[in-house]
Structure 1
Amino acid sequence: MSKNKKKVSLSYRLLWPIRNEKWQPITIPVFSILISFIAAAIVILLLGKNPIIAFYNLFQGAGIFPKASYAGYKSMLTDFLSLLNAMTPLIFASLAVAVALKAGLFNIGVSGQMLVSGFLATIIVGYSGLDAFIAKPLVLMIGIVAGGLMGGLVGWLKYKFNIHEVVTTIMLNYIAQYVISFFIHMYYIDPVSRQSKYITEAARLTLVDVELANLKMDISLGFILAIAIAIFIKFLMDKTVVGYEIKAVGSNRNAAKYTGIKVGKNTVLAMVISGSLAGLAGVTYYLGYFASIQPKVLSNIGFDSIAVALLGNTHPIGIIFSSFLVSIIDEGSTYMSSQAGIRQEIASVIIGLILLFSACGAYLKHKVSSLKEKEVERKDSES
């Protein structure tokens, strides 16, 4: 056997965990996570710290493992509920990115859509004094409508004038960031926190400091909704004509147009759905996880959602699990920093590594397929 053939055979054997094409939507993301954590462990070792202890502290901070001690009214359960609270807007934002990607579009404006939706819901409902039974559903409706309109504008500009959605969404991010900052500073600023005034509890989508069994818990009202909408998006994309047409446009616009599918309509529709999901992310973030808006700041969730969507293979159920993982890293980083003496920025390094290796998923599929063909040829030549 030649040296080159031996190398091909060895590479093929080493990639055995991801060779089965049926399981690649699961195995490749898991493989990406493992590789990214190994790379992060090397970085931590270079800093002179123990990566096993660091990762254990990371999971402790997120409420997955118990801490050595807790402050009053706190426990592992309260930490875990805080994790779910942080995870809720990330699920919505990641679904927004995934729906756009299904249509062949890249919605990098999730942060701006979140901000606009959160701001409108804040000034319309958050300061209104409405009863909770009216205020909370109204906050969700405003999020859906405001985000949908922003996303629809991006889709319409793409269809009508062929303006690339990345350019449009980046510009809208800046517009939203500075226009809303102006209005907050002029009319809604809290002189103490230098953020927007806090909303009423009736309008907030997180129940704060709920006392139960001598614990004070933050309970996200949007978490169950996020899971339900993820399941609905899966049904929409896999079982309906709308989903089929959106995916067809994303796969090949010219072929879709040739078969009679309205490319323009589906481009706009995909961005409306994507924007609506981003709007839900905005209201569950600014009127849920937080209760105010920091001027001139776009949420990192809008950008972390890209990593989450890629890691979840743009599959709604995969996104739930990848959101869970990235939320653990985000939420546990403070405790890891305090206990292991590792800067919180390492958490961002881990997320960046996950994004990097997740983006290589298509390459891994191609590499496995190519090695499989060469392995078959090698066996045929030997027989």
Structure 2
Amino acid sequence: MKKQNWFLTLMGDSKRQKFTIPILAILLSLLAGAVVYLVLGKNPITAYLSYLQGSGLIPKANYAAKKSMLTDLMSLLNAWTPMLFASLSVAVAMRSGLFNIGVSGQMMAAGLIATVTVGYSSFPAGVAKPLVVLISALVGALVASLIGFLKYKWNINEVVSAIMINYIVRYSVSFCIKKFMADPVSRQSRAINASARLSLMDTEIGGLKMDIPLGIILAIIAVFLVRFLFNKMKLGFEFRTIGANPRAAKYAGINVGRNLIITMALSGALAGLAGATYFLGYYGSIQPDTLISTGFDAIAVSILGNSSPIGILLSSFLITVIDKGSTYMSSTVGVRQEIGSLITGLILLFAACGAFFSYLIDRGRQKAADAQTKADGKEERV
């Protein structure tokens, strides 16, 4: 009699595992986080609900003046926008088998150039905001294209060159800020003009003051454009072929070098948009000497989403919810805010183990098949 392993059945075949393994990773991380809260003597259910309350997904018990669940949700969308762009940037590079670890540097370079050229200008909003988007995408594409060119021309590993460029960008931007752009109080770059900012800050609507992210619309459009590129365009097919086997792609007549540069240019353009929506949107200035973690977190977020645009849409939203809700969780539950970062780290750690989970599932399925074969053989002998 054939026995079914409910877990293996639930996880499904390799195609279904693209969805079930990330869900498994999230559940395991939430369970591990629950253990942490229990050890601290806190109720994990209350803690997880407070993440949703702090991010504006469910209502809080009370709100300050001119604040509501809607204002919290807008703040969440504002923070989500650069993470979504950065994660798409990583996914585009991975499509061709490249690892763009330089997203944070590309974000910072794009943020600086857009700030200097447009952020302090007297351009009206109708001119300044589109210029910020275009300049940031162009700068990000140029920086990342250099990485692709070095890979193509001299086979320099893209991870090494990206790390080196990160350092160059970090210290160059820091020098410019400290020398020419520093705010004497905050020691960061001076705040940009409201006309160039990609978030409408403290906008009063219906008696509420909220931050309205303009870039989120562009980010959602980018998700579907990248999905169309991956699934419907010849260029996307060439990217996937190169990522699977560069030698076979070259033998098939695909210009591998050209496509590597194009891949990194597209990845860099998305990273530049992440920089625009972070430094000239969500944050409003640039902190010297610091590469923000968004570009590095985006690598794990992309892995959690299986480098699929729709998967990234969901995984980046989840990580942003935890990040934004951690402040309210800290005040409600009475634990340090860093626990939120721990939960995020656990999710990303389990997500990185996706290949190992797939191996265990396949191994379990093979053992079950072998056991069933032996059982069937005994029944036949009887």
Fold match by TM threshold 0.5:
yes
The question of 1:152 aligning with 2:145 is answered yes
Matched residue, 2:126: 133
What SS does structure 1 have at the residue aligned with 2:16? helix
**Quick one: which of 115, 133, 142 aligns to 1:122?**
115
Deviation of 1:360 (Å)? 1.5
What SS does structure 2 have at the residue aligned with 1:208? strand
1:233-264 deviations in whole A, cap 9, x for unaligned? Answer: 01101111100111111111111111111111
The question of 1:272 aligning with 2:265 is answered yes
What SS does structure 2 have at the residue aligned with 1:314? coil
Q: Aligned-residue CA RMSD in angstroms? A: 1.6
Distance 2:285 2:173 in 1: 13
Deviation of 1:71 (Å)? 0.8
Matched residue, 1:344: 337
Distance 1:149 1:97 in 2: 16
Matched residue, 1:295: 288
The question of 1:226 aligning with 2:219 is answered yes
What SS does structure 2 have at the residue aligned with 1:347? helix
Distance 1:164 1:20 in 2: 34
The question of 1:51 aligning with 2:44 is answered yes
Matched residue, 1:306: 299
Normalised by the length of structure 1, the TM-score is 0.95
Matched residue, 2:380: none
1:244-290 deviations in whole A, cap 9, x for unaligned? Answer: 11111111111111111111111111111111100000000000001
Structure 2 gaps of 5+ residues are 377-382
The one-letter amino acid paired with 2:70 is L
Deviation of 1:22 (Å)? 3.5
The question of 1:71 aligning with 2:64 is answered yes
The one-letter amino acid paired with 1:367 is L
Question: Kindly, what percent of the aligned residue pairs are identical?
Answer: 54
Matched residue, 1:87: 80
Distance 2:335 2:295 in 1: 25
Matches within 5 A, 1:241-280: 241-280=234-273
Contact 2:8 2:364 in 1 (8 A): no
1:123-163 deviations in whole A, cap 9, x for unaligned? Answer: 00000110111100100001110000011000111111111
Matched residue, 2:374: 381
**Quick one: which of 217, 220, 233 aligns to 2:210?**
217
1:167-221 deviations in whole A, cap 9, x for unaligned? Answer: 1111111111111111111111111111111111110000112211110111111
Matches within 5 A, 1:7-26: 12-26=5-19
What SS does structure 2 have at the residue aligned with 1:21? coil
Matched residue, 1:315: 308
Matched residue, 2:91: 98
Deviation of 1:382 (Å)? 1.9
Distance 1:231 1:205 in 2: 21
Moved more, 43-52 or 329-338: 43-52
Contact 1:96 1:110 in 2 (8 A): yes
What SS does structure 2 have at the residue aligned with 1:17? helix
The one-letter amino acid paired with 2:367 is K
The one-letter amino acid paired with 1:258 is Y
Matched residue, 1:6: none
Contact 1:307 1:351 in 2 (8 A): no
**Quick one: which of 228, 237, 240 aligns to 2:230?**
237
Matches within 5 A, 1:353-364: 353-364=346-357
The one-letter amino acid paired with 2:134 is M
The one-letter amino acid paired with 1:17 is L
Contact 2:148 2:158 in 1 (8 A): yes
Contact 1:19 1:368 in 2 (8 A): no
What SS does structure 1 have at the residue aligned with 2:201? strand
Matched residue, 1:4: none
